[in-house]
Amino acid sequence: MKRAVRILFAATASALLAVGGAVVATGAEAAEPDPVFGVPVFNDPAGSEAAQYAIFQQLARLIDRVPAGETIEMSWFEFKTPDYSDTTARPAITDRLIKAHRRGVNVRILLDGQVAGDGSSNATQPPYLRLKPELGTSETASSYILLCAKNRGCIGKRKIGDADAYNHNKFLTATKVVLNNGAVKTGVVFQSSGNLGTWDADTAYNNAITWTEASSYANYKAYFKDLKKYRTSSTGDDNYYRVGASADQYKTHFFPRKETNGDYNQASTDTIVNVLDSVKCSYVGQTDGDPHQTDIRIVMWALTRTAVAKKLADLVKDGCWVDVVYSVTSTSALDALGNVGGRSIGITSCEARYGNRTIKAHSKYMLIDGAYDDDQIPRVFMGSHNYSLTALRNADESMVRIRDSSVHEAYLHSNFYKVRDFCRANTTAAAAATTVLSDAAALRFDEG
């Protein structure tokens, strides 16, 4: 069945190419709505199939609209979508990439070589098996699919405790996207918290955003180039850390970042602690002149970094409101979060029973609404970066700071409350207990 569908795609695509030349989008895809820009996309694992696959739809709609001669670059952890029929509600990303390539798009993909744990994200997965003969593996060709070496990232190489480095990225760039009405977007970045497996859609909460900004786009292109460059370097670069310009609306952060004192837990080189150091908990509103408190809200797959937890607790003592949702934490991090001198803090673990599934929060975002440095523009920090040690110290990761009050509003009102309330209502005390790992187990868990 699946094979027949695929052959049909191939025949259609080559027939169109043979006749027409510049085929932008074919048949069904042309009728699909445009992707959205500057607006976050959230999936709902407890919703309909279309709601579960909302992030896949956004990604597919971007891929479909890249014209011949243009270039897609993507780097992903766990690109392990099984083969299924490509539909509008549940797009098959592998099929869309193959169609893009057959109409003349350069498609360049870098994946992690092998993840410990389930060992599932590597050359044995259907997307890789299908894309390899299509795109080839020549570094110098205009299209390729390449793997980072086993048991390391493309850039990050060192082990942290028992945890190997890994390429944890989840982004795509496109040189050009043409919308249904012919409008052109150049320099497009798509950043997600989700991997490309069905679990990420039907069992986990994720988020993604797509934007165009020349400077941050250029930073992603440079990062992709470096991932490819270091892939074959025997040393990698464990001290890679690159940060975009603060003036950018989408300020980029690329990891791994090395500590300077031999201590993985060093706070001064922890990017999230650095961000929180700039927060003022009470402030006078620039527009209303009234006193306010700063609100910090987090949805995080893994919140195991003690330095981050301690900093959040200190901010609570300083008068900030902090509300945290996580799927995994560690004993030390949870102890630190609880040390708020009798003030209140929101702590919700997400291990929510729903039918025959256990829904978790796989997003990795932080919302800051209040005073930050010398401005009061709300911010969202999102991307692939867990608040875990490996995400900071040895994994290849990207995180972007979006300074934009409407984006912040969308995260808060279309996602944060919903995820928090769903998780809180549906996570039993017994299930919550399983989200707290010992410190040693938290480190091992990191690369799963």
Ligand X SMILES: *[C@@H]1O[C@H](CO)[C@@H](O)[C@H](O)[C@H]1NC(C)=O
Contact residues for ligand X (CB under 6 A)?
Answer: 113-114, 119, 122-124, 150, 168, 195, 301-302, 354-356, 386, 388, 390-391, 395, 421-422, 425-426, 446, 448
Q: Sign of torsion, CA 338 340 341 345? A: negative
Looking at the Cβ atoms of 9 and 264, the one nearer to ligand X is 264
Question: Are the beta carbons of 273 and 237 closer than 8 angstroms?
Answer: no
Q: Which of 435, 411, 415 is nearest to 352 (CA)?
A: 435
Q: Which residue is nearest to ligand X (CB)?
A: 119
Question: Residue 336 corresponds to which tokens in the numbers above?
Answer: 């630190």
Nearest approach in angstroms of CB 120 to ligand X is 7
Query: Residue 330 phi/psi, 5° resolution?
Result: -120, 165
Q: Which of 206, 124, 148, 157 is nearest to 383 (CA)?
A: 206
User: Rounded distance, CA 214 to CA 188, Å?
Assistant: 9
Nearest approach in angstroms of CB 59 to ligand X is 15
Nearest approach in angstroms of CB 422 to ligand X is 4
Q: Which of 224, 157, 209 is nearest to 411 (CA)?
A: 209
Looking at the Cβ atoms of 298 and 320, the one nearer to ligand X is 298
Half-sphere exposure of 396 (CA within 13 A, CB side): 34
Looking at the Cβ atoms of 223 and 422, the one nearer to ligand X is 422
Q: What share of the chain is helix, strand, coil (3-state, %, to 5)?
A: 35, 25, 40
Looking at the Cβ atoms of 195 and 216, the one nearer to ligand X is 195
Looking at the Cβ atoms of 263 and 354, the one nearer to ligand X is 354
Query: How many whole angstroms from its chain centre is CA 287?
Result: 34
Nearest approach in angstroms of CB 110 to ligand X is 14
Contacts of 179 (CB under 8 A, 6+ apart): 34, 65, 185
User: Rounded distance, CA 236 to CA 148, Å?
Assistant: 11
Question: Residue 101 corresponds to which tokens in the numbers above?
Answer: 């390539």
Looking at the Cβ atoms of 54 and 391, the one nearer to ligand X is 391
Looking at the Cβ atoms of 25 and 395, the one nearer to ligand X is 395
User: Rounded distance, CA 223 to CA 207, Å?
Assistant: 21
Q: Which of 173, 81, 175 is nearest to 128 (CA)?
A: 81
Looking at the Cβ atoms of 118 and 374, the one nearer to ligand X is 118
Q: Where are the alpha helices (DSSP H) in 33-103?
A: 49-52, 54-64, 93-102
DSSP code per residue over 312-355: HHHHHHTT-EEEEEEEEEEHHHHHHHH-STT---EEEE--EEET
Nearest approach in angstroms of CB 10 to ligand X is 26
Nearest approach in angstroms of CB 249 to ligand X is 25
Measured CA angle at 124 (ends 123, 129), to 5 deg: 75
User: Rounded distance, CA 172 to CA 109, Å?
Assistant: 9
Question: Are the beta carbons of 17 and 104 closer than 8 angstroms?
Answer: yes
Looking at the Cβ atoms of 124 and 282, the one nearer to ligand X is 124
Looking at the Cβ atoms of 88 and 426, the one nearer to ligand X is 426
Nearest approach in angstroms of CB 206 to ligand X is 9
Nearest approach in angstroms of CB 310 to ligand X is 18
Nearest approach in angstroms of CB 45 to ligand X is 11
Classify 175 in phi/psi space as left (phi over 0), alpha (psi -120 to 50) or beta.
alpha
Nearest approach in angstroms of CB 215 to ligand X is 26
Looking at the Cβ atoms of 177 and 267, the one nearer to ligand X is 267
3-state secondary structure of 291: strand
Nearest approach in angstroms of CB 356 to ligand X is 4
